[in-house]
Structure 1
Amino acid sequence: MAIALDHRPVRRAAGAGTLSHLVRELFERIVSAWQRYRVERELESMPFDLRKDIGFRSSNKTTR
């Protein structure tokens, strides 16, 4: 499973408690979560060799 981290600074406005701001923030979070989900699915669907070529580590397959 691939994990894509995205950090965006939180913007606080003077009227941060308004309903329109809360709805917009909720919508932005939903869109961001959906985009992260799509990126993770695209990365996981790539062949192992291609993921290795772009920098993903190979899984540790050593058994004891």
Structure 2
Amino acid sequence: MAIALQHHPVRHAARSRDAGNLSHLVRDTYGRIAAAWQRRRAERELEGMPYDLRKDIGFRSFDTNTQ
């Protein structure tokens, strides 16, 4: 048995280019803000852990004697 499918793209109402660019700009800006907030939250969680626990999970410690 064979199935033949055809795809016809649906045309949406005409949009201005500026409206599309603005929505992309807002979405990208929101995504960057959310990602920065999540990174900062993860950093605060790591900094809140005791040193021994961070060492056990592989978090590098600061070493002043690098050569």
Give TM-score scaled by structure 1 length: 0.65
Question: Identity of aligned pairs, percent?
Answer: 66
- Are 1:33 and 2:36 matched, yes or no? yes
Greater percentage in helix: 2
Q: 1:55 aligns with which of 45, 53, 58?
A: 58
Matches within 5 A, 1:4-23: 18-23=21-26
CA distance in 1, matches of 2:24, 2:61: 43
Larger radius of gyration: 2
Deviates most, 27-36 or 51-60: 51-60
Unaligned runs of 5+ in 2: 1-16
Aligned length: 47
Q: Larger RCO: Structure 1 or Structure 2 (Cα < 8 Å, ≥ 6 residues apart)?
A: 1
What's the Cα RMSD here? Answer: 1.7
**Which of the residues 49, 56, 66 maps onto 1:46?**
49
Where structure 1 has 5 or more consecutive residues not aligned to the other structure, the ranges are 1-14
